[in-house]
Amino acid sequence: MNFTGSHILSIEQFERADIQRVFDVADAMEPYALRRRVTRVLEGAILGNMFFEPSTRTRVSFGSAFNLLGGDVRETTGFESSSITKGESLYDTARVLSGYSDVICMRHPAAGSVAEFAQASRVPVINGGDGANEHPTQALLDLYTIRKELRSKGRTLDGLRIAMIGDLKHGRTVHSLCKLLCLFDRVQVTLVSPQELSMPEYLVEGLRNAGHQVVVTDNLQTSISRIDIAYSTRIQEERFTSKNEADLYRGRFRLNQSIYTEYCEPNTVIMHPLPRDSRQEANELDNDLNANPNLAIFRQTDNGVLVRMALFALVLDVVDQVEKYSRDVRWYNALRNQV
Amino acid sequence: MNFTGSHILSIEQFERADIQRVFDVADAMEPYALRRRVTRVLEGAILGNMFFEPSTRTRVSFGSAFNLLGGDVRETTGFESSSITKGESLYDTARVLSGYSDVICMRHPAAGSVAEFAQASRVPVINGGDGANEHPTQALLDLYTIRKELRSKGRTLDGLRIAMIGDLKHGRTVHSLCKLLCLFDRVQVTLVSPQELSMPEYLVEGLRNAGHQVVVTDNLQTSISRIDIAYSTRIQEERFTSKNEADLYRGRFRLNQSIYTEYCEPNTVIMHPLPRDSRQEANELDNDLNANPNLAIFRQTDNGVLVRMALFALVLDVVDQVEKYSRDVRWYNALRNQV
Amino acid sequence: MNFTGSHILSIEQFERADIQRVFDVADAMEPYALRRRVTRVLEGAILGNMFFEPSTRTRVSFGSAFNLLGGDVRETTGFESSSITKGESLYDTARVLSGYSDVICMRHPAAGSVAEFAQASRVPVINGGDGANEHPTQALLDLYTIRKELRSKGRTLDGLRIAMIGDLKHGRTVHSLCKLLCLFDRVQVTLVSPQELSMPEYLVEGLRNAGHQVVVTDNLQTSISRIDIAYSTRIQEERFTSKNEADLYRGRFRLNQSIYTEYCEPNTVIMHPLPRDSRQEANELDNDLNANPNLAIFRQTDNGVLVRMALFALVLDVVDQVEKYSRDVRWYNALRNQV
């Protein structure tokens, strides 16, 4: 894909080489995200951070990524304006808002709305999540995190062994991850969920057609013993006929330090798209894992900044200029030594 | 008017030479708005973008205009703070907030509130709309757009032929436009509305006293055949005794491509203050006009950025320094070739 | 205290020398706050301005202070995100959000929440108010204002004569002020309140243990005749058994120009944490005091910017570099001559 000026709407746009390109640029962004250096390459550029549905962390992550490249951010949160509710078309909204910025990140509750918006926009649009449809930067940051965690162990995405755990029927992030994994070789995927919440068949087929080994199960303990990544998701109580039924499933898919120690290989990496529900009755990843250095859930969100910086730099075609407009950091920097 | 340090509260402040000055500066802002160049002339300055009533596009337009000059933006949306509802006077609010910024843009639902706020403010205040009263930057961007569209045809505001169409009784934008047109010569104004929604008499008188030719009618087709500008506004259903009655009017004032082709001179420019209601039953400007190059509604909102940049540059007295602190754009620039 | 990298959670952290340090740095910030000069020392740094409870003025004050040092601001207003309400722990929120910024200012309705958040944060956290607990920057700006007002009269905090007036039972600001005054010598404190709203005994004890002279009274007139500072607070009607009873108290503690002229020494300084209730029935500080040059309430909020700039500069360790990255202001500057 030619990134310059492109909309980033769906992970379906990405071929393996595109993924590689995004990840390499994300790697190059690390000194700036960790404040070893500051760059002002996008000084004067404006991100229109249009969140027609609230999502603090995704919104702030996009905004910070743009600031880290030197650009300014104008944003909206929720359907504050009545223009859309008064019958304004997405076409009009897009034509107007795209006159105020150089690139737009948009989140919207309606599936397909971001693509419709992008068609009328005069500047590149990045999908920040459109309902049940797509959230491509989340998918990319997940895969980027897996790659990074594997690399520190001398491994690659080819040959990955991963278990996806929890509500695999409704989880947008695990669906995207399945699609992305089809671009790689020899992946072993274990899908751990109650039968009622199993991964949609077309995604399982996709994995198998890609030559991957897929195991479908509802037993957590037997599934996590020989994997590189345990990707946990939330069990959504509201999908069940009763709270009691939901609790049964949750009991089985709850991961804590003692289960980890008993069943997992050393250094098995734990991931989760966040937020994790830390209330007693949910608690899919127990807080006692917080001390476990293989809990990668906050490295995931940190990596989100890198991936979003990479996409901005690619779409606005400044990858080669980031360093040129950079300098050392002048202030106290708590982030410097975190990776 | 001496712009430096002045509040911009009402179009009544503007004489013809002032309008000319704003528009000339707006023209000079175009290379920056189109990202042919970047300027940092207001680097370090802060806009207090105080929207006590939501209006995404106006808020973002002001904010982007300030960013494009290099300044930072702090803002508020809605009556988030309970200070005002707890009995704080506008005087106090103004005194406090004006200590946080170099210039304030304020929108407020109460007519007159922005002027009251400005009296206590220690920095210049620009009215971003105060209820039914004034929205001077909208009026200026409308007139600026008319001037620009005419100029591309070798014409000027003197001698303009314009039809204002729709709800002329309640439309704040057409009221302001009537006042501004009184500053120019030999204007032909056709006021097209149902009788119940006709332009207030004092504004019609004003136009006539300025020597302009005014025709009042409720027939769209006969009104749009010899005009330069068709300025359409929304028919507000809630003003009528019944939806059916409203629909009757809407039927008559709906402009689409076939009506345009049949009745208008070639190159008649179509304007609208936006948002336009694109729902089937309203649809004052049909979507089939989107392909018509004379549909200027998005050039209007683009021009809004230029006009707001011009006002900031004038009020903060940096017009002469904008270029000095400028340089080329470094990033992919989709906007460059749009004008 | 070593400010570099520290959280600023409570005034209890501050010793006298720390206060002195903050105030000296705040003094040094004045040329930048008044736009005699601009500094870009924090260019590239990001403030996470996390307001989980609305407070426009505090939020904008922190944001502007950070912008004035050259940094960018990403922010949130209210519990927009459902992550927290969905059971996410403050630990997780802190870990995630601290990956997006270099320093965080947090306001939250729950007492103790900011300290809990800070414990998990990977960057310094400044308490912007956590419920009934603490609002340290308000306390510091109050004391800074007192010091500055006294200094212009050749006086110091040692030897201060102050009356605190109104609801001393619930007022977070006067509680903090009492604690801070214990760090100084020979202070005379007059506590003026209805008996039902008197200062908590432990704070009175604290003042006495510090060697200060404390008078407790419910008579306003006799209390304000020999003081340097009259610090007025709101009488909170909702705390009384009836509106009539509240009105009785309010009648006695209302300060206006004629009472000031009759009872106060010349140049007695009037302060208030704001917002003041300007409605007829409340009106603890009458609007006729607005013309009184000793009304310092807006100098308080202006000073808030200085104190917040100082804290950012100290925590991020750039105090010595502020001037190096500075230059003259280029734009019209209404603030220049206000102090």
Is B6 in the A-facing interface, judged by CB distances under 8 Å? no
State how beta strands B161-165 and C326-328 pair. Answer: unpaired
Sign of CA dihedral A78, C74, A90, B311: positive
Query: Is C129 part of any domain?
Result: yes
Composition of chain A by helix, strand, coil, percent to 5: 40, 15, 45
Could you list the mean pLDDT of each consecutive 10-residue stretch along chain A, which spans 339 residues? 97 98 98 97 98 93 98 86 71 96 96 96 97 94 98 95 95 95 98 94 98 96 96 81 76 89 96 88 87 97 98 98 97 86
Judge if A155 and A203 occupy the same domain.
yes
* Total number of domains in chain B: 2
On the question of pLDDT at B167 being above 70, the answer is yes
Across the range B227-256, mean pLDDT stands at 82
Inter-residue contact C103 to C124 (CB < 8 Å): yes
Tens of pLDDT along C166-186? 999 988 999 999 999 999 999
Q: What percent of chain C has pLDDT over 70?
A: 97
Is B107 part of any known ligand binding site?
Answer: yes
Query: Is A334 part of any domain?
Result: no
Is A119 in the B-facing interface, judged by CB distances under 8 Å? no
Which of A49, A332, A205, A327 has its CA nearest to residue C7? A332
How far, CA to CA in Å, does C206 sit from each of B145, C12, C158, C192, C210?
68, 13, 16, 17, 6
How far, CA to CA in Å, does C217 sit from each of A139, C206, C241, C253?
65, 18, 21, 11
Query: Is B5 part of any domain?
Result: no
Query: Is C6 part of any domain?
Result: no
Q: CA angle, C324 as apex, C320 and C329 as ends, to 5°?
A: 120
Across the range B49-69, mean pLDDT stands at 95
Q: CA angle, C19 as apex, C16 and C22 as ends, to 5°?
A: 150
What whole-number distance in Å separates Cα of residue A239 and Cα of residue A241? 7
Tens of pLDDT along B245-267? 777 777 778 899 999 999 999 99
Inter-residue contact B40 to B281 (CB < 8 Å): no
What whole-number distance in Å separates Cα of residue C111 and Cα of residue C203? 19
What whole-number distance in Å separates Cα of residue B11 and Cα of residue C20? 50
Judge if B120 and B156 occupy the same domain.
no
Shortest Cα distance, chain B CAs vs residue A85, angstroms: 10
Chain B residues inside the 8 Å CB shell of C329: 44
B260 compared with C86, residue with greater pLDDT: B260
Chain A residues inside the 8 Å CB shell of B302: 99
Chain C residues inside the 8 Å CB shell of A278: 87-89, 91-92
Catalytic positions of B: 57-58, 86, 107, 135
Shortest Cα distance, chain C CAs vs residue A326, angstroms: 10
Verify whether the Cβ–Cβ distance B332 to A315 is below 8 Å: yes
HSE on the CB side for A307, CA within 13 Å? 29
Judge if A70 and A213 occupy the same domain.
no
Judge if C131 and C43 occupy the same domain.
yes
Q: Which residue on chain C is closest to B85 by alpha carbon? A: C277
Verify whether the Cβ–Cβ distance C331 to B316 is below 8 Å: yes
Q: What percent of chain C has pLDDT over 90?
A: 83
pLDDT at B84: 63
Inter-residue contact C193 to C218 (CB < 8 Å): yes
Chain centre to alpha carbon of residue B309? 13
Chain A residues inside the 8 Å CB shell of B63: 74
pLDDT at C283: 77
Inter-residue contact C82 to A108 (CB < 8 Å): no
Judge if A193 and A89 occupy the same domain.
no
Query: Is A23 part of any domain?
Result: yes
Give the nearest partner residue to A57 out of C72, C96, C317, using CB atoms: C96
Judge if A122 and A167 occupy the same domain.
no
pLDDT at A280: 72
Composition of chain C by helix, strand, coil, percent to 5: 40, 15, 45
Binning pLDDT at 50, 70 and 90, where does residue C1 land?
A: very high
Inter-residue contact B121 to B5 (CB < 8 Å): no
Strand order in the sheet with B72-77: B72-77, B46-51, B103-108, B125-130
Sign of CA dihedral C333, C336, C337, C339: positive
Please report, for the domain that includes residue C129, its CATH number. 3.40.50.1370
Neighbour tally for B195: CB within 10 Å: 10
Judge if C82 and C205 occupy the same domain.
no
Judge if C185 and C318 occupy the same domain.
no
Query: Is B334 part of any domain?
Result: no
Binning pLDDT at 50, 70 and 90, where does residue B200 land?
A: very high
Judge if C147 and C240 occupy the same domain.
yes
Inter-residue contact A186 to A211 (CB < 8 Å): yes
Tens of pLDDT along B268-316? 999 999 998 887 777 789 999 999 999 999 999 999 999 999 999 999 9
A237 compared with C321, residue with greater pLDDT: C321
Could you say which of A86, A324, A327, A330 is catalytic? A86
Domain interval for residue C243: 137-298
What is the full DSSP assignment across B142-199? HHHHHHHHHHTTT--STT-EEEEES-TTT-HHHHHHHHHHTTSSS-EEEEE--GGGPP
Chain centre to alpha carbon of residue A248? 28
Could you report how far apart the first and last alpha carbons of chain A are, in Å? 30
Chain C residues inside the 8 Å CB shell of A67: 46, 72, 74
The DSSP letter of residue B55 is -
Which of B333, B267, B268, B273 has its CA nearest to residue B298? B273
Helix or strand or coil: residue C199? Answer: coil
pLDDT at A336: 87
Query: Is A316 part of any domain?
Result: yes
Is the peptide bond preceding residue B109 cis, with omega within 30 degrees of 0? no
Tens of pLDDT along B6-33? 999 999 999 999 999 999 999 999 999 9
Inter-residue contact B207 to B187 (CB < 8 Å): yes
Tens of pLDDT along C91-134? 999 999 999 999 999 999 999 999 999 999 999 999 999 998 99
Chain B residues inside the 8 Å CB shell of A41: 330-331
For residue C70, give the amino acid letter.
G
Sign of CA dihedral C152, C154, C157, C160: negative
Is C124 in the A-facing interface, judged by CB distances under 8 Å? yes
Judge if A251 and A315 occupy the same domain.
no
pLDDT at B266: 94
Chains touching chain A, criterion 3+ CB pairs below 8 Å: B, C
Query: Is A29 part of any domain?
Result: yes
Residue C24 makes CB contacts below 8 A (sequence gap 6+) with none
Is A101 in the B-facing interface, judged by CB distances under 8 Å? yes
Verify whether the Cβ–Cβ distance C302 to B99 is below 8 Å: yes
On the question of pLDDT at B123 being above 80, the answer is yes
Verify whether the Cβ–Cβ distance A67 to C86 is below 8 Å: no
* Catalytic status, residue A161: no
Shortest Cα distance, chain A CAs vs residue B71, angstroms: 9
Verify whether the Cβ–Cβ distance A42 to B274 is below 8 Å: no
Give the nearest partner residue to B92 out of C77, C274, C331, using CB atoms: C274
Least confident of B130-144, C26-40, C67-81, C191-205: C67-81
pLDDT at C339: 57
Verify whether the Cβ–Cβ distance B122 to C335 is below 8 Å: yes
Shortest Cα distance, chain A CAs vs residue C81, angstroms: 5
Is C95 part of any known ligand binding site?
Answer: no
Chains touching chain B, criterion 3+ CB pairs below 8 Å: A, C
Which of A170, A267, A166 has its CA nearest to residue A226? A267
Is C119 part of any known ligand binding site?
Answer: no
Judge if A255 and A204 occupy the same domain.
yes
Tens of pLDDT along A66-110? 999 999 999 998 765 556 666 789 999 999 999 999 999 999 999
pLDDT at A50: 96
Residue A121 makes CB contacts below 8 A (sequence gap 6+) with A7, A94, A95, A97, A98, A104
Strand intervals (E) in chain C: 37-39, 46-51, 72-77, 103-108, 125-130, 161-165, 188-192, 213-217, 229-232, 269-271, 326-328
Q: For chains A and B, count residue pairs whose Cβ atoms are closer than 8 Å.
A: 110
What whole-number distance in Å separates Cα of residue A178 and Cα of residue A194? 18
Is B291 in the A-facing interface, judged by CB distances under 8 Å? no
Inter-residue contact A193 to A240 (CB < 8 Å): no
Judge if B44 and B84 occupy the same domain.
yes
